[in-house]
Amino acid sequence: MRAHGTILAVCLWSFYVWNLATPGLRDRNGNLKGTDFLHLYTLGSLAVAHRGTDLYDMHAQAALAAQRVPEAAGIRYLPLYPPQVSIIFAPLAHLSYGWALILWWSASAAVYALCCYSVWRACPNLRDHGGLVALLAVAYPAFFHLIAWGQTSAAALACFTLMFFLLRDRREFLAGVVLGCLIFKPQLGLAAAILYLCTGAWKTLLGAALSAAAQLSVGVLYYGMEPLRQWVRVLRNVQAVLPLLEPKLYQTHSLRTFWSMLVPWPAFSFGLYIASAALILGLTIACWKRSHALPLSLRYSALLLASVLVAPHLTVYDLVILAPAFILLGERLIGQPIARSTWWMGTLLYLVYMLPLLGPFTRWTHVQLSVVAMAATLYLIWSISRGGGSAEGSARNA
């Protein structure tokens, strides 16, 4: 693992640094440095100018982006973030694009590092493997894509990490408050919301509802009601603009796009997505209802996997939310005697970690293997819960 992690980290990051080592804001491939951060920077610029009516106008945003960043001329993004997100990025919009991007990269990397460190500190079996955990965290392909795309998924990772510690301390209401913060990426909170609804975790759901409402209220107080209404309308009609949202399906890693790439008939593929998502949620709910047989580390890892698989839209950078699952499941593997189940778990974790690198090959194979590996890992956790959590039982069920 140390050798593979070193090779992967050196290859990914040396290539990326070489790709960025150009004058100006375009990299060697001709792409704007930071890519998706341009959209966030533009939203912040709209917030500074108090232009709430343009938050969901692609043409107005493209014109503003070209005005603020001349190298971005011709680039368009589909606006899907709720109104309050633009307010968060308003301070960065006061800086030049280059300095704002550097600051955003630094903040994202710091949040990612803090989340990984916090979970590692909670895993006593991994205390002697801190260097290896740090190396694999740096080499994680999803973290590489998070930085390369300039995306917001580090904030989602922070929410899921904090939720784990709050649930561990039995502070269900506060865990719900943190869950509600995911309203800026609501697709990532879908599985958790359904799980808590089906398990009757009403305090958690109440905290999530209040938190989401409070966050949306910030946008209403700043812009008025109209931008919020526009956001709701955009979400209702999102299926019609999915080709704009997902121009590179091979970079997506959820059940919906798994079936879309595999089955050419949209209605049939969507039906398969609903059926498989229901199965994944059923397994996750079953794991949580067997809390006597399954520790929180395994149940929460199952939730993280389900959050990725069930999400209607999930791009490769969103896979950073699985970082706590790798650490928590690695902790269990080291603490368990050698058995068939531990071999399977280690193998599947390796595949879930590495297979996103093969995403581009999906253009020809039409099978996103990372989704298969994640579903198999969740099934294995469910099998362990049926065996009462013992190594022997999990070996039988593996």
| The predicted structure's pLDDT at residue 293 | 79
* Nearest to 211, CA basis, from 158, 187, 175: 175
Alpha carbon distance 376, 240 (integer Å): 31
For residue 58, give the DSSP letter. Answer: H
pLDDT of 378: 97
Listed in sequence order, the residues at least 6 apart from 305 whose beta carbon sits closer than 8 Å to its beta carbon are: 284, 322, 325, 374, 375, 377, 378, 381
The CA distances from residue 255 to 3, 276, 308, 310, 315, in Å, are 32, 7, 8, 6, 12
Domain ranges of the chain: 2-397
| H or E element that contains 214 | helix 202-223
Give pLDDT, residue 247: 78
Instruction: Decide: pTM greater than 0.85.
Output: yes
Q: How far apart are CA 77 and CA 356, in angstroms?
A: 24
- For residue 339, what pLDDT is reported? 66
Q: What angle do CA 259, 261, 265 make, to 5 degrees?
A: 70
Q: How far is CA 45 from CA 20, 35, 65, 289, in A?
A: 25, 16, 9, 46
pLDDT of residue 56: 94
Residues of the chain with pLDDT under 50: 388-398
pLDDT for the residue 338: 65
Which residue in the block uniquely carries the two structure tokens 């460190």? 117
CB 252 within 8 A of CB 313: yes
Instruction: Please tell me the predicted confidence (pLDDT) of residue 386.
Output: 86
CA distance 388 to 394: 8
Encode pLDDT of 138-160 as tens digits: 999 999 999 999 999 999 999 99
Tokens of 107: 């903040």
pLDDT tens for 77-86 read 989 999 999 9
Q: Whose CA is closest to 20, among 29, 12, 11? A: 29
Residue 54: its pLDDT value, please? 95
With 0-12 CB in 10 A as exposed, 13-18 as middle and 19+ as buried, what is 124?
A: exposed
User: Residue 114: what residue type?
Assistant: L
